[in-house]
């Protein structure tokens, strides 16, 4: 009987914010596809360890690492732990993020600062720390989890959230231009209408309304985002860089 070829066999991946939601879905899929997985979390160790246990059951090596990506020293520890444990870093998925709500006049300086610290600075810090490793390898895949709000704006969340995700998308393209000559691909995935704990504020009526507004007539799942991230993280996507892949059920289509 032929053994199933795993798409990330032998690769090592860091997925930030992967104790729940989209990050968890990515971590579990990567583990099933043979990757060594660093499950990053900032608050809930118990949830992170649940993800680790599930990945271990799939036969892959994994560990949970606590780190707040908005803190440079935590990011250094995260990258260092991965190198000490697995010897290389092939894939970085910048998924950690926070959401905020309110009209612009309601957004405090503290909220503005925190959203950008996590969503933008955190992504930048992780990339800055991992790029020298990937350059030495002449290989690397960076996938940033952005949002539809970063492309079209959004009036249901605070404008600072969409602005942070827009910054992430442009950072993706800038890094793709800089890092392409070093064998490093940088892309982003922009989800919309994906049901995660972050979207618990949607009641049943809201979920039904949004589902009916999509051509596919259903809401998305973390697995929908995970499969797009997996594609951008494997060797078959080596000729793709600087792209924002929409995972939104057809709500937003590139013209």
Residues involved in catalysis: 161
Q: Is 198 exposed, middle or buried (0-12, 13-18, 19+ CB in 10 A)?
A: middle
- Between CA 95 and CA 232 the distance in angstroms is 14
One-letter-per-residue 3-state SS of 104-150: HHHCCHHHHHHHHHHHHHHHHHHHHHHHHHHHHHCCEEEEEECCCHH
Give the C-alpha distances (Å, rounded to integers) separating 188 from 6, 156, 202: 23, 22, 25
**Going edge to edge, which strands form the sheet with 140-145?**
62-66, 36-41, 12-15, 91-94, 140-145, 184-191, 244-247
Longest Cα–Cα distance of the chain, Å, equals 64
- The structure tokens listed for 235 are 């060797």
- The structure tokens listed for 173 are 């393209």
Distance of CA 198 to the CA centre of its chain: 14
- Between CA 231 and CA 248 the distance in angstroms is 16
């Amino acid at each position: 009987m032929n053994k199933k070829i795993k798409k990330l066999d032998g690769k090592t991946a860091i997925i930030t914010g992967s104790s729940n939601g989209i990050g968890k879905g990515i971590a579990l899929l990567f583990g099933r596809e043979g990757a060594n997985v660093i499950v990053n979390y900032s608050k809930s160790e118990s949830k992170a360890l649940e993800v680790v246990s599930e990945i271990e059951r799939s036969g892959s090596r994994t560990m949970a690492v606590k780190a707040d990506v908005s803190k440079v020293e935590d990011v250094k520890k995260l990258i260092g732990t991965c190198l000490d444990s697995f010897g290389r870093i092939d894939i970085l998925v910048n998924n950690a993020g926070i959401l905020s709500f309110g009209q612009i006049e309601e957004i405090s300086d503290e909220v503005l600062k925190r959203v950008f610290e996590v969503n933008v600075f955190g992504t930048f810090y992780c990339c800055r720390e991992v790029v020298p490793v990937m350059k030495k390898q002449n290989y690397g895949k960076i996938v940033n989890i952005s949002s539809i709000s970063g492309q079209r704006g959004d009036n249901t969340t605070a404008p600072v959230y969409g602005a942070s995700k827009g910054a992430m998308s442009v950072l993706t393209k800038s890094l793709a231009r800089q890092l392409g000559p070093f064998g490093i691909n940088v892309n982003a995935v922009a989800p919309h209408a994906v049901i995660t704990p972050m979207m618990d504020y949607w009641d049943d009526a809201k979920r039904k309304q949004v589902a009916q507004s999509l051509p596919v007539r259903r809401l998305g799942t973390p697995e929908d985002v995970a499969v797009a991230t997996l594609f951008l993280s494997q060797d078959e996507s080596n000729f793709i860089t600087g792209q924002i892949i929409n995972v939104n059920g057809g709500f937003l289509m590139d013209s």
